[in-house]
Amino acid sequence: MNHMDYLLRPATLDDLDVIEKFSRAATFSIRTLKPDRARLAARVERSLKAFAGSEPLNGDEIYHFVLEDLRAGRVVGTSGIVASAASNGRFYCYRNEFLVHGSEELGITNREHTLRLCEDLSGHTLLSSFYIEPEYSDTLAPQLLSRGRLLFIRNYPHLFAERIGAENPGLCDDEGNSPVWDALGHRFFKMPFPEAEQRTGGRSKSYIAELMPRNPVYVSLLTKDAQWAMGQLHPDGELPFGILVAEGFDVDSYVDIFDGGPIAEARVAMLRSVVSAQDVALRSAPGEAGEACLVANLERAGFRATLANGVFLEEGLQLPDSTITFLGLMDGASACAVRLD
């Protein structure tokens, strides 16, 4: 499987069948795409309008991508960007805090892990909807599927917030039973986790704040299963989570209000791909020699990103003609690139 045969591009309605298939294949805990064709179609249409820039910015833009295996001639993954978390409300999560209680008389000091309901991530840009077919997990395709989005954000900073987050799935079983939800959320919502997650998708509903305690929650008072699961990652989320960690996201400060999964957070300007990316002029190269890199054009509606073997020069980047064509560009065109080291 040649890792230079992948292309990241905006999703179109022609991709609806495969996006729907991905939504059904994804584990319950990472199903940010609900398997509802009408809703998926509406999401893709919203995305196309956002890429086109055909409407005034209001913060609720969604940018939905698909990853093609060009050699196989099919779409093998999908990912997205939400311009602003809870653009029409507040985005709720728990902030990890620690309180120290001590008695000098008894000689006892306790450091207690607490959770505080917060709105810190309201207005952050969110990475979302990552899914890739399992047989591609050990290739470089996931790097393109995840990091290609960051190059788009880097090229169009005015469309996004200065800070960025990404929800990651917490522990739950195949039926959607979550130890954290059972010990905490269920006490206040009085409904199973899958139903609560469905009804409060986006974490912006006001009744989260109305029902959940505003005082700090002491983790040590929860069940042992919930204590162990707090901040733990669902195994199916390990691949995208690892990419975020390598980018420099902080994954220790916030957890999901429902399943306790870790929420990654960072300043966009500090992310590895954004810091390392450079604007280049493309130069046609005769062969496939060079170092592995991720390359993206500078277009919005016509965004394209791919993997390539390129030779970095002072005056630009040498790429095979086929790669330049993948990007919808010609010899001498401007692009941005980042090494995959």
For residues 71 and 7, is the Cβ–Cβ distance under 8 A? no
Q: Kindly name the residue from 101, 124, 186, 234 that is annotated as catalytic.
A: 234
- Tokens 């992948």 appear where? 6
Q: What is the mean pLDDT of the chain?
A: 90
**Choice between 262 and 208, residue whose per-residue pLDDT is larger:** 262
Q: For 277-339, CATH number?
A: 2.40.40.20
pLDDT number for residue 177 = 83
Rounded CA separation 154/303 (Å): 12
pLDDT number for residue 45 = 96
pLDDT over 90 at 83, yes or no: yes
- In the chain, CATH 3.40.630.30 sits at 10-97+115-273
| CATH 3.40.630.30 holds for 10-97+115-273 | yes
Strand partners, 100: 111
- pLDDT above 90 covers a percentage of the chain that reads 70
**Is 101 assigned a catalytic role?**
no
For Cα atoms 17, 51, 198, give the angle at the middle one, nearest 5 degrees.
Answer: 55
For residues 116 and 94, is the Cβ–Cβ distance under 8 A? yes
How far CA 299 is from CA of 6, 29, 125, 296, 313, in Å, comes to 18, 34, 20, 9, 23
pLDDT-based confidence at residue 202 (cuts at 50, 70, 90): low
**Choice between 90 and 76, residue whose per-residue pLDDT is larger:** 76
**Prediction pTM value:** 0.92
Per-residue model confidence as pLDDT tens digits over 174-189: 777 899 999 998 888 8
Per-residue model confidence as pLDDT tens digits over 310-327: 999 987 999 999 899 999
Per-residue model confidence as pLDDT tens digits over 263-317: 999 999 999 999 999 999 999 987 777 899 999 999 999 999 999 999 999 879 9
- In the chain, CATH 2.40.40.20 sits at 277-339
pLDDT number for residue 87 = 65
Per-residue model confidence as pLDDT tens digits over 111-160: 899 999 999 999 999 999 999 999 999 999 999 999 999 999 999 999 99
Average pLDDT over residues 41-50: 96
Close Cβ partners of 26 (under 8 Å, ≥ 6 residues apart): 33, 131, 236
Average pLDDT over residues 11-37: 82
pLDDT over 90 at 86, yes or no: no
Per-residue model confidence as pLDDT tens digits over 216-254: 999 999 999 999 999 999 998 999 999 999 999 999 999
CB atoms within 10 A of CB 76: 20
